[in-house]
Structure 1
Amino acid sequence: MRAQDVAGVNQAGWDRRVEAADIWTRPVSAEEIDRARRGDWSVVLTPNRPVPRDWFGEVAGKDILCLASGGGQQGPILAAAGARVTVFDASPRQLAQDQAVAARDGLSLTTRQGFMHDLSAFGDASFDLVFHPVSNCFAPEILPVWREVARVLRPGGALLAGFMNPMVYIFDAQAQDRGEFVVRHRLPYADIDDLPPEELERLVARDHTVEFSHSLETQIGGQLQAGLVLTHLFEDRDSGGGDTGRSLHFPTCLATRAVKLTG
């Protein structure tokens, strides 16, 4: 698989994940939307830990970009809480989930299709907040993502981002399926570079997508390089908590809050 084919593979892969009812494609309920309208809401950047509310500040009236965040989950909740929300995602089927929730519950919400490294659809300083859950593992490069985020943020605006701990990519995936942890890969890792063709074909057939590890230097250092200032960070583990699989041994995800300087 060529690097230029990755975007199309992952776009189609997330469409297929919608068909398979992947956990990150299941829309929130009408009851959750109703609670959010009353001020009782939470959203996640990583599998388990709700993002602290003080990371957002006052949501009502803010222009929020939910970046690579389709699926009918975070965007509709933030819209119900009073934000002006744009959900941006590569997968038409994921965006359709957000559109369906908006139609069902009478929400004002905009969806735009595109890839996270190219936000040319938006002008400079368009948003007060960018909400970017774990998804940049599907992008070959992330420094362009951070540069675009910094461009579309207003001075004083915040980026809330979730991403994978690069450690998860050193292990042999098939051994993990058997409950074993075998160090196989060097970092940085990419499915398309590090797996033989027949194994890559099996992985795409099973998971529908390909992934890339990114170093903490490019994840956190890249945000700083783009002109953002880190203010908060937490760690999290896989869906279902920390009592199974690799989550027994180390946190698998991180979340950060960074602010665009006003000066």
Structure 2
Amino acid sequence: MDISKHNSMAWDKKVEEGAAYTKAVSKEIIEKSRAGEWEITVTTGKPVPREWFPATLKGLKILCLASGGGQQGPVLAAAGADVTVTDISRKQLEQDEIVAERDGLTLKTVHGDMMDLNDFEDGYFDMIIHPVSNVFVKDVLPVWKEASRVMKNKGVLISGFTNPLLFIFDDAEERKGNLEVKHSVPSSTLDYLAKEDIEGYLSQKQTIEYAHTLEDQIQGQVDAGFVISGFYEDDFGGRRVLDNYIKTFIATKAVKVV
């Protein structure tokens, strides 16, 4: 099946349902961002350290990669960056467009797949912002390779991704407070379902997620020409039982060196 097409429709549905990562930032946040009081997240709640960014974003060419939803892109545009947002979901991109029109921002949206950035030329962007989203592609390595290709030398990639430990537990039981190890990594949402349940799951336009190894997430960046220069962890903010034991989201700052 076409995973990208399916997840595109699934995220369009999430926008219609008003899911958390489809809700655009407020006018007040944009006003603060214009005044220099801005922050973004690439994980669940912890802001990216300001020292990971240059002193000014003015004129900086930033690609918000698989980052639709009217959150990171509009804030960075309000702070002065030349922002392009690309996402597999057209409705997610519409959230960015709505904020831009509402608040008089200039940003570009491009409908596309994070694994194939053929809409962009080599060495164009100064920075790429990639929030937790590569969980929705089967192979993460092309994401890092394409990010490297479209970025200038010494450019900065700021990424959020899921610690694969999250996926080894039975999700339904974990939400009840029971930590039951059940799945292996790498794996996908469909691997966790009984064969007779897969068709129903897909027909409901639920997202297909993939548990990638940490080797693919971190060494994959290194192999694509990046050097990791920053790292932090995040969690569900106390909403999940796993938060009592481990942080299940990771953010990295990486600099292109080839």
Q: Shared fold (TM-score greater than 0.5)?
A: yes
Give the Å deviation of 1:195: 2.3
Stretch moving more, 171-180 or 70-79: 171-180
Report the AA paired with residue 121 of structure 2.
G
Distance, in Å, in 1 between the alignment partners of 2:204 and 2:90 is 20
Report the AA paired with residue 255 of structure 1.
A
> 1:223 aligned to 2:221?
yes
Any stretches of 5+ residues in structure 1 without a counterpart?
none
Report the AA paired with residue 38 of structure 1.
A
In the TM superposition, 1:56-205 aligns within 5 A as: 56-57=53-54, 58-201=56-199, 203-204=201-202
Per-residue CA deviations over 1:145-192 (Å, capped at 9, x if unaligned) read 000000001011000000000001101122123221111111111122
SS at match of 1:232: strand
Query: 8 Å contact 2:23–2:71 — kept in the other structure?
Result: yes
Give the Å deviation of 1:201: 4.4
What stretches of structure 1 move > 4 A for 4+ residues in a row? 201-207
Aligned positions, number: 257
Distance, in Å, in 2 between the alignment partners of 1:117 and 1:190 is 17
Distance, in Å, in 2 between the alignment partners of 1:79 and 1:148 is 23
Distance, in Å, in 1 between the alignment partners of 2:184 and 2:174 is 16
Report the AA paired with residue 58 of structure 2.
A
Query: 8 Å contact 1:27–1:73 — kept in the other structure?
Result: yes
Of all paired residues, the percent bearing the same amino acid is 46
> 1:39 aligned to 2:36?
yes
Give the alignment's TM-score, normalised by structure 2: 0.96
Report the AA paired with residue 134 of structure 1.
V
**C-alpha RMSD over aligned residues:** 1.4
Query: 8 Å contact 1:191–1:200 — kept in the other structure?
Result: no
Give the aligned partner of residue 251 of structure 1: 247
Give the aligned partner of residue 18 of structure 1: 15
Per-residue CA deviations over 1:231-253 (Å, capped at 9, x if unaligned) read 00000001xx1364221221010
Distance, in Å, in 2 between the alignment partners of 1:34 and 1:47 is 23
Identify if the C-alpha distance between structure 1 residues 159 and 98 changes in structure 2 by more than 3 Å, giving closer, same or farther.
same
Identify if the C-alpha distance between structure 1 residues 237 and 203 changes in structure 2 by more than 3 Å, giving closer, same or farther.
farther
SS at match of 1:174: helix
Give the alignment's TM-score, normalised by structure 1: 0.94
Identify if the C-alpha distance between structure 1 residues 244 and 173 changes in structure 2 by more than 3 Å, giving closer, same or farther.
closer
Per-residue CA deviations over 1:47-82 (Å, capped at 9, x if unaligned) read 011000111113111000000000001000000000
Query: 8 Å contact 2:13–2:205 — kept in the other structure?
Result: no
Give the Å deviation of 1:194: 3.9
